[in-house]
């Protein structure tokens, strides 16, 4: 999301053989002997930008009523099987429980996340004020508990459309990538082992990395997603982050083998990375 490939970060191979954490210590389970890394890896990685040649920032909707100057205050859901919406925060913002100025605050987010990426949110609803213009957006948040949503002021974000969607079937161990509602490709994956399952739910891509050494445990690329391992949330740093990435253990593909992340072959990861911009919905189902 930074658009710069010159500032290297470090990916430690941790909770899912891909914890996507930056220059941290203690990136393993609690241990008197210090951090334990599942692959012993410490790889350089570079922020890769939003993807799809940097998505055009466009309003989700200009007006909620085309032929009226006034509206009843109302909300509606957004998105379909062929198009989704996402937003980046323009400034530090309060996320509220309801689209009201005095509604309880459920999260405080900066314009950039802890890794220096622009903060990305999935947009799943819009609230109209009395002049038919959007004044709040309902957004998906990259926080615990998984599936947390809230409302952010419309003026605090820049919105854009996303035509890609990733669906992961854990029981079949298959990943499907859709573009504009049509299946682009599908591929076998490795998912979380029984003790550290891949968390089910609806998430979104919020970080994108390029790795100069594709022989490591992450392969050539990694997609950070908004999911957190519910098993490892209080054991690993950053609440047990989860991602999709390549692997140097191709024999694990098709198995329940990870600490929660989704592994694909390196060849597939390169293709997936090109088609999955920041904000891409990721649906993980049983």
CA distance 252 to 50: 29
| Cβ atoms of residues 160 and 58 within 8 Å | yes
| Cβ atoms of residues 246 and 221 within 8 Å | yes
Residue from 15, 16, 132, 261 carrying the catalytic annotation: 261
Residue from 127, 228, 245, 259 carrying the catalytic annotation: 245
Alpha helices in the chain (DSSP H): 266-275
Q: Would residue 15 show up in a list of annotated catalytic residues for this protein?
A: no
**End-to-end CA, the chain:** 30
Question: Which structure tokens are listed for 221?
Answer: 């690329």
Question: Which structure tokens are listed for 32?
Answer: 């008197």
CA distance 34 to 40: 13
Q: Would residue 245 show up in a list of annotated catalytic residues for this protein?
A: yes
- Strand, helix or coil at 239? helix
| Cβ atoms of residues 18 and 10 within 8 Å | no
CA distance 165 to 152: 23
Owner of token pair 């379909």: 80
Catalytic residue set: 245, 261
């Amino acid at each position: 999301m930074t658009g710069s490939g010159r500032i290297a970060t470090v990916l430690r191979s941790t909770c899912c053989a891909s914890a996507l954490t930056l220059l941290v210590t203690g990136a393993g389970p609690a241990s008197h002997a210090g951090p334990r890394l599942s692959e012993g890896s410490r790889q350089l990685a570079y922020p890769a930008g939003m993807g799809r040649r940097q998505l055009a920032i466009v309003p989700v909707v200009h007006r909620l009523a085309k032929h009226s100057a006034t509206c009843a205050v109302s909300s509606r859901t957004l998105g379909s099987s062929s198009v989704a919406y996402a937003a980046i925060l323009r400034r530090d913002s309060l996320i509220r429980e309801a689209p009201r100025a005095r509604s309880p605050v459920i999260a405080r987010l900066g314009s950039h996340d802890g890794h220096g990426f622009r903060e990305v949110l999935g947009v799943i609803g819009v609230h109209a004020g009395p002049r038919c213009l959007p004044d709040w957006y309902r957004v998906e948040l990259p926080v615990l508990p998984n599936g947390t949503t809230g409302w952010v002021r419309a003026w605090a974000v820049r919105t854009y459309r996303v035509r890609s969607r990733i669906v992961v079937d854990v029981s079949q161990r298959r990943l499907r990538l859709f573009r504009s509602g049509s299946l682009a490709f599908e591929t076998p994956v490795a998912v979380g082992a029984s003790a550290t399952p891949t968390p089910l739910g609806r998430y979104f891509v919020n970080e994108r990395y390029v790795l100069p050494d594709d022989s490591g445990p992450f392969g050539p690329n990694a997609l950070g997603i908004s999911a957190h391992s519910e098993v490892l949330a209080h054991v690993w740093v950053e609440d047990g982050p989860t991602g999709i990435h390549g692997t140097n253990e191709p024999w694990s593909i098709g198995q329940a083998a990870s600490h929660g992340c989704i592994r694909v072959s390196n060849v597939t990861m390169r293709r997936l990375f090109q088609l999955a911009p920041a904000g891409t919905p990721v649906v993980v189902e049983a």
